[in-house]
Structure 1
Amino acid sequence: MSWPVTELDAVARMRVLAAALPGAFITEAVLDAPFDRVWAVAADLENELPRLLRTVRSVRIIRDDGEDQVADITGHFGLRDSFDVVLRSGWCVMQSGRVVGGMAAVAEGSGTRFAFLGALRVPGTRTLGPVLRRAGRPLGRGMHARLRERVAEG
């Protein structure tokens, strides 16, 4: 017997990850720019992530083994955490013991579909899921808006 096989693009995989993480939110937008330009900005974690995500003050890559990295990320409220990062073309997942973040992008027509995911790993996340998802969506929409601006700046 043969099982059906399907391929999921990076944004579809990010949707699956969001569905699997309690309390995760995911936002998507189509940007009017080619994939290469969008991903060049999004994947520049040290320089661009603090500009794109208002909760992040700084990112410092402390180990870079190609696709596998470790980053120290500091927030504006003094929180600092070490994140395991998987970064490849069109896909980035960053996770610490308390937070999971992700970005995915795929070419769509002449533009790029971009997804942003966020989730907390704290007690009560499953119960607070609907509240966390509602609270996270504006964060994601703001990131999409700033990404559009950064890509347009070139």
Structure 2
Amino acid sequence: MTVSIFVNLPVADLDRAVAFYEALGFEKNPMFSDETAASVKLNDAISVMLLTHAKWQGFTTRPICPPGSSEVSLALTCPSRDAVDAMVEAGAAHGGSADVNPPEDHGFMYQRTILDPYGHVWEPFWMDMSAIPDTTPRSADEGPQG
């Protein structure tokens, strides 16, 4: 069985949240959507459940994080630097906030940040696995790191 993840997020305006995630490339799944919740699917393994505050409070008595706080950062791989930029720009054009943390370019890895309209942090990133620096500890007799 393939393991899937359903990230559950509280939102104040369900329609606005769905529009934001669809702009990022997620697809609404009507099977798990109604007037209190919407499932948006990125691929067969990753879905986000957008829950109205009332629905969210049916799952937990813990308070919803206030605006300006951060409870989690969700990183998503992208196939290229351009795809990272496109996701952040699409999110910013649909009610999100781009680059709340400075973009990071490490050569082998490129990352930016987008907040959804409710302050949930997403970090699309691209990484060239073949270019990751070798940081394996070596003993003095093994010579310099490569």
Structure with greater proportional helix content: 1
Q: Mark the structure with the bigger radius of gyration.
A: 2
Structure with greater proportional strand content: 1
- Higher-RCO chain (CA-CA 8 Å, sequence separation at least 6): 1
Q: Structure 2-normalised TM-score?
A: 0.27
Q: Structure 1-normalised TM-score?
A: 0.26
